[in-house]
């Protein structure tokens, strides 16, 4: 079955979140500690088992040291 455009964008979103975390030199457990959440929370949204809402995405971005705006700009480049 062919993947929809939406699912391809979801894959790119997950990959970008993981890529930025790695670029920042953070393990899942370290990011989770910054978020005050469990490591499994980070694992679940990176694997697609959990979808972040806008406020959660903003919090994750801030915990990785970037603004939501800069993340969205980077994501737009990824999906273009």
4: confidence class by pLDDT, cuts 50, 70, 90 = low
Helix segments in the chain, DSSP class H: 5-23, 28-35, 39-47, 54-63, 68-79
41-80: per-residue pLDDT in tens? 999 999 999 999 999 999 999 999 999 999 999 999 999 9
Question: Region 5-25: what's the mean pLDDT?
Answer: 93
Sign of the Cα pseudo-torsion (3, 1, 52, 28, in order)? negative
The residue with greater pLDDT, 2 or 62, is 62
Q: Which domains does the chain have, with CATH numbers?
A: 14-79 (1.10.260.40)
pTM value is 0.89
User: Helix (H, G, I), strand (E, B), or coil: what is residue 49?
Assistant: coil
């Amino acid at each position: 079955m062919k993947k929809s455009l939406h699912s391809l964008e979801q894959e790119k979103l997950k990959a970008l979140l993981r890529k930025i975390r790695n670029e920042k030199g953070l393990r899942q457990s370290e990011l989770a500690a910054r978020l005050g959440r469990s490591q499994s929370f980070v694992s679940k949204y990176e694997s697609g088992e959990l979808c972040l809402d806008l406020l959660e995405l903003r919090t994750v971005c801030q915990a990785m040291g970037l603004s939501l705006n800069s993340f969205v700009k980077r994501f737009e480049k990824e999906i273009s």
